[in-house]
């Protein structure tokens, strides 16, 4: 990112109302209410369910514990520009994203709430990104002496401060300084006049397990560091809990919880699917063609499906480029109303074929549920993830940009 681009980012005005019908159709304007007359591929974002999920998570905590809404990866595929303004209106105290570029994208919609950047500052990071972080006041993560030295040298040339949060690796073996390095790094940062430490945090590796012994070991390491350095005496946020830890480890809530997957209505691990969370997204696509398939005829690439009898199949303009994994070919069913329609043949980049045998009076323009928001459905995300050996996260963030996100309530 060069300086001209950075200046452009810094001078970019707040989002203005958009009047173009195309922009409304494609879900990029500020007003994106569901229009049932639009027979196109759409992801319906349920604002009521989003608020409900935040309240469920907050009720797990003591009064005064802050709520950090994790909206990285475009709000887990839901469209951060739609969700952040809702969350900033009294539901989230903080936001968290992966990198400075993501922070900039949500900045106009965050209503002044602090934005934590998970990716650590490092030796060699582009000065333009540091300039942007300074100008916006993003809370950047720092966890290495090399990164500290490099960023401090840059700060000396600008004479501008930067809020930072320290991340410590308490046992996950991923991002963060080692516990034995934490104290030296903490004092080194405090000695630099251009840094304001606003938080200290870590991340659990096994908080969604039934056996929480590893998670409790990590919490003990974190607590020992907080106590040894007397961090409770300072206005420094201490936080370590994700959705799973929010649900299962009340002793680890500290000053703030950071929730991602649970906010969107999903869980992983031992605490299950019965905690009251509601999926926020439902995806539909129209039937764009209905055709006969004769007995013995194949359909799709490779001819992997052979019609057992004369049948009707339908095509929807939704394929693996849109988030329906090719590995789900011939393995799941979609829905038309309450009727299941099995996927037949290989899922293509742009198209999927479904068996209409169970659907009474099928017609072009009927809407097909590709991803359902009803747990237990044949095409809910849990079922899809189980079929291909993955987790709900991966399904959600794979929903492509061609799928128009719209608010339904």
Residue 291 a catalytic site member: no
Q: Is the Cβ–Cβ distance between 356 and 314 less than 8 Å?
A: yes
Residue 238 a catalytic site member: no
User: What is the C-alpha to C-alpha distance for residues 67 and 58, in angstroms, rounded to an integer?
Assistant: 7
Residue 272, CA distances (Å) to 104, 243, 278, 370, 385 in order: 34, 12, 13, 23, 15
Q: Is the Cβ–Cβ distance between 242 and 259 less than 8 Å?
A: yes
User: What is the C-alpha to C-alpha distance for residues 241 and 68, in angstroms, rounded to an integer?
Assistant: 10
User: What is the C-alpha to C-alpha distance for residues 122 and 39, in angstroms, rounded to an integer?
Assistant: 47
**End-to-end Cα spacing for the chain:** 38
User: What is the C-alpha to C-alpha distance for residues 192 and 383, in angstroms, rounded to an integer?
Assistant: 51
What residues contact residue 307 under an 8 Å CB cut-off, 6+ apart?
Answer: 293, 294, 295, 296, 297, 298, 299
Q: Is the Cβ–Cβ distance between 263 and 69 less than 8 Å?
A: yes
Q: Which residue among 5, 111, 291, 301 is the active-site one? A: 301
Instruction: Name the residue among 326, 325, 343, 322 with its Cα closest to residue 334.
Output: 343
User: What is the C-alpha to C-alpha distance for residues 232 and 6, in angstroms, rounded to an integer?
Assistant: 37
DSSP string, 273-316: S-SS----EEEEEE--EEEEE-TT-EESGGG-EE-SSSEEEEEE
Q: Tell me the H-state helices in 111-265.
A: 127-136, 145-158, 179-190, 213-228, 243-248
Q: Which residue among 51, 72, 192, 404 is the active-site one? A: 72
Catalytic positions, please? Answer: 72, 301
């Amino acid at each position: 990112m060069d300086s001209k681009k950075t200046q452009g980012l810094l001078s970019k005005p707040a989002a203005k109302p958009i009047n173009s019908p195309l922009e409304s159709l494609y879900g990029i304007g500020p007003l994106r209410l569901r229009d049932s007359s639009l027979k196109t591929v759409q992801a319906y974002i349920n604002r009521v369910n989003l608020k409900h999920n935040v309240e469920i998570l907050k009720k797990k905590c003591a009064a005064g514990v802050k709520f950090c809404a994790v909206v990285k990866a475009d709000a887990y595929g839901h469209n951060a520009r739609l969700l952040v303004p809702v969350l900033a209106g009294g539901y989230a105290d903080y936001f968290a994203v992966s990198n400075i570029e993501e922070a900039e994208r949500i900045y106009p919609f965050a209503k002044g709430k602090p934005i934590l950047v998970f990716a650590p500052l490092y030796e060699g990071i582009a000065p333009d990104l540091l300039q942007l972080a300074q100008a916006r006041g993003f809370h950047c993560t720092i966890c290495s002496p090399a990164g500290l030295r490099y960023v401090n040298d840059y700060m000396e040339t600008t004479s501008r401060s930067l809020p930072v949060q320290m991340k410590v690796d308490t046992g996950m073996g991923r991002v963060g300084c080692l516990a034995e390095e934490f104290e030296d790094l903490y004092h080194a940062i405090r000695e630099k006049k251009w840094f304001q430490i606003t938080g200290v945090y870590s991340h659990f590796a096994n908080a969604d397990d039934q056996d929480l012994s590893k998670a409790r070991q990590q919490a003990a390491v974190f607590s020992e560091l907080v106590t040894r350095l007397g961090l409770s005496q300072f206005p420094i946020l201490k936080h370590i809990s994700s959705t799973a830890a929010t649900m299962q480890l009340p002793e680890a809530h500290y000053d703030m919880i950071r929730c991602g997957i649970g906010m969107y209505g999903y869980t992983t691990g031992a605490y299950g699917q019965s905690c009251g969370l509601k999926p926020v997204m439902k995806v539909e696509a129209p039937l764009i063609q209905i055709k006969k398939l004769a007995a013995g005829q194949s359909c799709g690439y490779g001819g992997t499906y052979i019609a057992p009898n004369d049948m009707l199949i339908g095509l929807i303009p939704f394929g693996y480029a849109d988030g329906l994994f090719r590995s789900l070919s011939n393995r799941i069913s979609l829905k038309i109303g309450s009727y299941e329609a099995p996927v037949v043949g290989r899922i293509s980049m742009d198209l999927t074929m479904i068996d209409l045998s169970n659907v009474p009076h099928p017609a072009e323009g009927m809407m097909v549920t590709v991803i359902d928001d009803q747990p237990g459905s044949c095409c809910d995300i849990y079922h899809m993830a189980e079929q291909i050996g993955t987790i709900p996260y991966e399904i959600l963030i794979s929903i492509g940009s061609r799928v128009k996100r719209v608010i339904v309530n």
